[in-house]
Structure 1
Amino acid sequence: MSLDPFGRLPAAYFTPGSSSFSDFVREHAPDVLPGARRTPAGGALPTGGPGAGQPPHATTIVSIVCAGGVVMAGDRRATAGPMIAQRDIEKVFPADQHSCVGIAGTAGLALEMVRLFQVELEHFEKLEGTLMSFEGKANRLSAMIRNNLGLAMQGLAVVPLFAGFDLDEGRGRIVGYDVTGGRYEEQDHHAVGSGSVFARGALKKLYRPGLDAAEAIRVAVEALWDAADDDSATGGPDLLRRIWPVVAVVTADGYQRVPEAELGTVVEAVVARRTGNPGGRLDGGELR
């Protein structure tokens, strides 16, 4: 919306209404929302080699409930068809002080959705003077995914993974979604993206109740390794370029990204254990 002839903001900015930033934009400038866009109908893919003209896709995200909170990790590879579009894309972001979101699907739209979600939560906090509840945040993200359904039906799906520390219940929680915006409470751990089937298999074997944050970080890296071992769209730790997964821990103290130096130590331990044992066989049922 443009300023009026006197350089003032339009009256809509001063009219009481919903605390939802998305609802405000949808009412006054719906064309700028991601879900309002449409891709051209028909036509062949642009030429220029494998993957040319295809939007980059992001995978894989895993999340694990741990003692005192939750851990989320994402690999760093984005693909366009059979090609690697980017080796160091970021897929895990803070949503607010006590929650995080990981992206899978069409990377550009997913990143735009994350930014809109972050603004949505900050807007609510400024208007209401309090943080939105975990349930409220999960439901708001569900609505955003549902508003993208038109683009998802045209092949531009976004399926994020949401997790955080529920201040009301005093525990870490994980919420998964489908492309229609349906939300599902996940127990203990979950994974999304093209490598998720392999990551989930690893999580089932490695997870145990009561993991502390350090143990959960190790399990997350192991799960992403297994995903990368069998899914070409998932990138494993890149030892030559020193590119590690993005890993975050969310507790009652807030969101914290695991430092690169600390994560490098974990990755090197995983590589050492997998050398000569690529399938990750457990020694006596425990990681060593």
Structure 2
Amino acid sequence: MQEEISKNILKSNTSIVGIVCKDGVVLAADRRSTAGTIVMSKTKQKIRKITDYVVAAYTGGVADIELSNKVIAAELRLKELRSKSRPTIKEAANFLGMMTYRSIRTPSMIPSIVGTLIAGVDEDGKASLYTIEPAGAAMHVEDYDANFSSGMPYILGLLERTYKKDLSVKEAIELAKECIKSSMQRDVGSGNGIDVFSITKEGIKHVISEELVPEYK
């Protein structure tokens, strides 16, 4: 029974990618969410702006993602009010990692499984990227990561031969877009659109919002 429930729960079998460049960070994702073999949504936004300075890309169960995003947004706001200063991206990543760790280890018929790429800008203007594994480990990313998204093998394969440490944000945006497009060619859980965000000292910008519609003859 548990296997049947887990198979048909609404999931974002996803392609997400985070790329670190010399002047910021870029996040990209597709828009498809599925339940079993059915495409349930073609417009799911998998990259969420948490605050004015933090943004995250998620993979996992949709309900778990929604809850994680709401909780981390509330916790960061509470910390701002209590400390009169905004949390660092490292603090945000560590909190989300702790929350993920606890969630997956809480006995449940349907375990909460969420993988996250979280990026943002600290008060000194420096952008950074962290990956939070579904088991709860939070790690700083120095180059690129696709977490445990279903498109990860295709994305990492492309980045292994194309990534350069001195990429500009503009170059990273195009590379991230190419990663998602490449993944959608082979991963049945990914498709229907691309969203790309840039994270720099100037702020967080939604730089690409592109719907991909199949042409039926």
Q: TM-score range by the shorter chain?
A: 0.7 to 0.9
* Corresponding residue for residue 120 of structure 2: 164
2:34 matches 1:79: yes
Q: Which of 181, 201, 206 is the equivalent residue of 1:252?
A: 201
Going from structure 1 to structure 2, the CA distance change for 1:153 and 1:188 (only over 3 Å counts) comes to: farther
Amino acid in the other structure paired with 1:111: E
Query: Amino acid of the residue matched to residue 138 of structure 2?
Result: R
2:98 to 123, 128, 143: 143
Q: Following the alignment from structure 1 to structure 2, what is the Cα–Cα distance between the partners of residues 191 and 44? A: 26
Are residues 259 and 202 of structure 1, via their aligned partners in 2, closer, same or farther at CA, if it must alter by over 3 Å?
closer
| 2:158 maps to amino acid | A
Moved segments of 4+, more than 4 Å = 151-155
Structure 2 residue 65 is the aligned partner of structure 1 residue 116:
no
Give the corresponding residue for 1:12. none
Q: Is 1:45 the counterpart of 2:4 in the alignment?
A: yes
Report if the CA contact (8 A) 1:98-1:252 is conserved.
no
Could you tell me how far 1:180 is from its partner in structure 2? 2.5
Q: Percent of aligned pairs with the same residue?
A: 25
Could you say what secondary structure the match of 2:136 adopts? coil
Q: 1:71–1:216: 8 Å Cα contact kept in structure 2?
A: yes
Whether contact under 8 Å (2:121, 2:127) holds in the other structure is yes
Q: What is the RMSD of the two structures over their aligned residues, measured on CA atoms?
A: 2.3
Higher relative contact order (CA 8 A, sep 6+): 2
- Give matches, 1:170-185, under 5 Å: 170-185=125-140
Q: TM-score, normalised by structure 2?
A: 0.86
1:219–1:194 Cα change, 3 Å: same
2:108, 2:176 → 1: CA distance? 28
- Give the alignment's TM-score, normalised by structure 1: 0.66
**Is 2:166 the counterpart of 1:210?**
yes
Does the Cα contact within 8 Å between 2:96 and 2:132 map onto a contact in 1? no
1:120-142 deviation line (CA, Å, top 9, x unaligned): 11111122111111221111111
In structure 2, list runs of 5 or more residues that go unmatched: 213-217
Q: How many residues align?
A: 209
- As a proportion of its length, which structure holds more strand? 2
How big is each residue's C-alpha offset from its partner over 1:202-248, in whole Å with a ceiling of 9 and x where there is no partner? 1222211222222111100111112111211011xx4xxxxx31211
One-letter code aligned to 2:54: S
Larger Rg over CA atoms: 1
